[in-house]
Amino acid sequence: MFLALKRKWILIVLCTLLVVASVVVYFTAIRPTFMPKAVHTIVIDAGHGGKDGGALGHDITESELNLSYAKTLEKICQQYGFKVVQTREDMNGLYDPFAPNKKKSEMEKRRKIINKNNPDVVVSIHMNSFPSSEARGAQVYYAAGSESGESLADCVQKTLHNNIEHAKNTAKVGDFYVLNVSPCASILVECGFLSNPQEEVLLQEAEYRENFCYHLFCGILMFFNYS
């Protein structure tokens, strides 16, 4: 009787071990063959917000447009399986409302979000403005000395130049806080000029925005050698 009971327990323990071993083998040996490619994390940084509207158009602020471009880019990135983190989800500023220096507080918040999420790429979205209304066209910037930033900027600028009218053909070095503090490939995209009346109208069109963000995303894909 005692022996039979002992055998029964040994059998239960052996069966349990077999199940545990099977699960371990499935998740370590078999599962990776069904896994998609590594998920890339992208931080999308909509510039300005809150009291800081950025550049002003005739009937729209830069901060508003930045957010709508950031949301469109987010949607496209998610469709392709990217993990997306937005620095700004709405029209509120990122600064602490009680901070004596709101710009400093806002920039510090952006830096913290970037560092916390350990992204593969950071894309900061802005709209340009210039005293002359003639100036137009998308321009991509990267931080001086950042090889990965330059490579990402080249890919995105090239893709925009080939697909978006008036987009510049060469990426430039830019001294921007978000680029300087990002530990990964980072770019700042000035999508167009609100000071150019035709471009201001175009930048507000949904179809133009979708197309622009799609090609911006294609540039990011090119950077990851997916194309």
Contacts with Zn ion by CB under 5 A lie at: 47, 54, 126
* Least distance CB 47 / Zn ion (angstroms): 4
Cβ closest to Zn ion, residue 120 vs residue 190: 190
* Least distance CB 127 / Zn ion (angstroms): 6
* Least distance CB 21 / Zn ion (angstroms): 57
- Report which of 122, 121, 63 is spatially closest to residue 89, judged by C-alpha positions: 63
Cβ closest to Zn ion, residue 126 vs residue 215: 126
Q: Nearest 5°: CA angle at 53, between 103 and 186?
A: 65
Cβ closest to Zn ion, residue 82 vs residue 142: 142
Output the residue with the shortest Cβ distance to Zn ion: 126
114 CB-near residues (< 8 Å, 6+ apart): 43, 45, 87, 122, 178, 181, 182, 183
* Least distance CB 112 / Zn ion (angstroms): 20
Cβ closest to Zn ion, residue 63 vs residue 72: 63
What does the block give as tokens for 191? 């999508």
| Residue 107: CB atoms within 10 Å | 18
